[in-house]
Amino acid sequence: MKYDFITIGGTTYDISFFTDQGVLIDNASDILRQKLLAFESGAKIKVDKFHYSFGGGAANAAACLANFGLRVACIAPIGNDDRGKLIKKNLQKRGINTSLIKKINNEESGSSFILISPDGERIIFAQRGANNKLVIGEKEIANLKKTKAIYIASLAGNWQANLKKIFSTVGPQGPQVFWNPGMTQLLGGVSKISKYLKKTTVFACNKDEALSLVVNSEEYKKTSHQVLNDTEKLIKIIHSFGPKIVVITLGKEGAVVYDGHQVVAREIIKERKTVDTTGVGDIFNSSFAAGWTLFDGNIDQALQLSLRNAAAKVAHIGAQNSLIKI
């Protein structure tokens, strides 16, 4: 079967908990940690409620893409446990092909504990578990060569070896690549991923991630914070690394896209109430990938679809719930 998209990355079983006990601290002097959420040391913190759902970059993207009627498979590991069974069942329920989901014996499935504040912002405590055992083998490579597009989420484990194998399938006649990397891939700077960026159709990240990539790149280590905090300058620097399109999400300030010719900026679509921002980056970026595909590379239409779906997501608990369907 030829897929429209194959997503690659992690899957998790998520436990979200809500509390109003945290104190937000301004830490603007640290460009990589500009806001902190603090709790009293040694205190017992009151939790208002728990919520159980599913997450992980590859799973979230697959759920989003499948909602648009696209044929989607997911490459990701799960543990040989009850959480793994639930994760796989959830993907199947959403119409995602799970033949490339690999069960890892003697490993727990990935889990996340997600702290959500009253304004819907969150901090994620992630246990990678089986996600650290992701391996791109012959079966995966054969399927990647046949798909129309690849969506790469955050990669755990031996990510450098896996990236090499993934991009070995990408060429003039091969699949397009939509890449939303994790912090692990960015902290080494551009030198670690330069050859892959040049083969990437759309490179997407949030501003913190964009800053991490640039400040850890040798050429820009001594660049002033003032220059790098300028989003237009930042996105043009990343575009110079090689991708065709760069997308930077800015949280409540919206998003910016650059194709080498013009910078397109859009504000968020405001919901009456932000309930939970967990997974909104995955949903925004995979919606852009879907829009780029469905609307023949039209940036404005892809961006509008992303903003609409992100607004739908933040109004509900859980990364994969209440998303737009076509």
pLDDT in tens, 24-42: 899 988 877 888 888 899 9
pLDDT of residue 272: 64
**Helices 207-215, 231-240: inter-axial angle, 10-degree rounding:** 60
pLDDT in tens, 167-207: 999 998 889 999 999 999 999 899 999 999 999 999 999 99
pLDDT of residue 186: 95
Give residue 154's identity as a one-letter amino acid code.
S
Phi-psi label, residue 198: left if phi above 0, alpha if psi -120 to 50, beta otherwise: alpha
CA dist 311 and 18 (Å) reads 20
Domain 5-27+48-314 annotated CATH 3.40.50.300: no
pLDDT of residue 47: 87
Instruction: Write down the domain spans for the chain.
Output: 5-27+48-314
Name the stretches of the chain with pLDDT < 70: 1, 272
